[in-house]
Amino acid sequence: MWRHLVMLLAITFTFAGCLGLPFFQGTSGTGVQDGLPIDKELIIPKTDAELSSHVPGELLVRLNKGVSEASVLEAVDGTITGRLDSINMVRISLAGEERSVTDALRTLQRVAGARWAHANQTGYALFEENVTDEAYVNGQQYGPQKIGAEVAWDEGITGEGVVIAIVDSGVDVDHPDLVERMLVGYNVVDDSTDVTDFQGHGTHVAGIAAASRDGEGMVGVAPEASILPINIIGPYTGISDFAIAYGILVAVYPEFVGLPESSKADVINLSLGGPFYSQAVQDAVNEAIQQNVVVVAAMGNDSKQVIQFPAAFEGVIAVGATDPNDARASFSTTGPHISVSAPGERIFSTRPFNEYARLDGTSMATPHVAGAVALIRDKYEGMSPSEVKYLLEQTASHKGAFDKELGYGRIDVAAALGITIGEDYWNTGSIKVTVTAADGEGGVPVPMADVILLHDDHPPQSVRTGTLEGVEGVAWFYDVPEGTGYTVRVTDLDGAVQSEEEIVVVANQSTEVEIAFGSSDE
């Protein structure tokens, strides 16, 4: 009962622009924020076991200005283990064997000066799906073209001078596609500049947003933007409210942790989220937006309508995922708070140790939007976060219309930048080629082959299905102009033709073909 009530209150207060976690004002039984009453006894569970996932014995407290920290610490018997001065917030570790967070929250109701307090929640997820291919270099990107970024590059709009903060699992700063774009980053877990990416998620996200055109395997949406990597995940820890808020504020005020002031972010990418409201993260997001920083966050991979934060915070650009044909990716979370969508299915990008891979997820869609924001801020330097959000929404594929599946639609960078392009640019489809064994073994994948796409006997693009163990003999071609005259040719690794088949490409559809290896008459 309590859990359902807490979640209901959190959702209700959040979309009313109100607080969904313990809020304290004065010593009365009811708190007030934005003119709306909050019954704290209903919001605070009876025991810590009824709280959402959290760091045991820790709470986050925002103090009113001029309030003595000593009075708060004495009341709850705790010590300060972290502080975020720009939002006047402290992290308190409780002493004693009990270390009851809920008891401490109730105690703080009677302490003047505590603006709000809540547990240091954990359980945030990185919104990626399983790797759909083993890592390999000869990948095919479709995201930059699909959102019109290539048109911007042709106009000299590349994100130069713009900083994208990747608040994530860290980044492989030595990756050949990223090293030229990299600024000195920060690790909020151990307060160092070591942003080693133990998980790999942040490296993939960074490549999508801003991999250099001078690299080896891919190019990011804003290929001349700078990357500020901020690690909020330790090698053996999850993600907490405090770490996310800390990471956001490092992006806004890099000088506070010893980084150059010039490293201040123009846009923050948050490819993560959780089902619980955090006033700490909300305040950090508010501070970022007030300091002219755009905040972009992933909707989630729940495949249905679900509330996830920070995507649901007001002012954030909440991003859903589309497939190569602009339909909603099956995993993408929906909801009334979605802003726009971007490519998030089978996205090729960088991975640690100079590798590459394809991943699915709204985590992959979000840096497409962060990169698009960098291009917009390259051209329109004085544009505010709310103006950037509005521009992306009104120029997206729905042309001002809204639905809970894709928001205002798949982003269109060219339109946002006022660049006119022909309608034929968007009349493209995709091709999925599965190579299987011949000689009575149909259906068995053959990964040791090359697949080449020909148009009128000329190879416009090609991709290897893979030579690594685990690759399933599948090749994809994206953004192929609609029409006839296409031939898919399969060769062995020595170049000998094994089979080929003629196909027709239909706009906004995926053409799937299965070819038997060794069935050619040649």
φ and ψ of 42, to 5 deg: -80, -30
- Round to whole Å and give the CA distance between 461 and 325: 18
CA-CA-CA-CA dihedral for 316, 322, 328, 334, to nearest 10: -20
Q: Crossing angle of helices 362-379/201-210, nearest 10°?
A: 30
What residues contact 31, with CB distance under 8 A and at least 6 apart?
A: 19, 23, 24, 25, 37, 38, 40
How many angstroms separate the first and last alpha carbons of the chain? 71
Read out DSSP for 112-156?
TTEEEEEEEE---EE-----SS---SS----HHHHTTHHHHHHTT
DSSP letter for 170, please.
-
Structure tokens at 46: 């009876």
Closest by Cα among 146, 220, 156, 149 to 414? 149
Residues that are catalytic: 168, 201, 363
- Round to whole Å and give the CA distance between 471 and 478: 19
Ordered strands of the 294-298 beta sheet: 186-187, 226-231, 163-168, 267-270, 294-298, 317-322, 340-343
Partners of 33 in the β-ladder: 36
- Round to whole Å and give the CA distance between 473 and 333: 30
Partners of 272 in the β-ladder: 126
CA 42, 45, 50, 56 torsion: positive or negative?
positive
Contact 191, 185 (CB under 8 A): no
Partners of 499 in the β-ladder: 490
- Round to whole Å and give the CA distance between 287 and 31: 23
- Round to whole Å and give the CA distance between 379 and 376: 5
Residue written as token pair 């009313």: 16
Contact 56, 99 (CB under 8 A): yes
Closest by Cα among 352, 353, 231, 252 to 294? 252
- Round to whole Å and give the CA distance between 186 and 165: 10
Residue type, 96: G
- Round to whole Å and give the CA distance between 165 and 185: 9
Around Cβ 269, how many Cβ atoms within 10 Å?
36
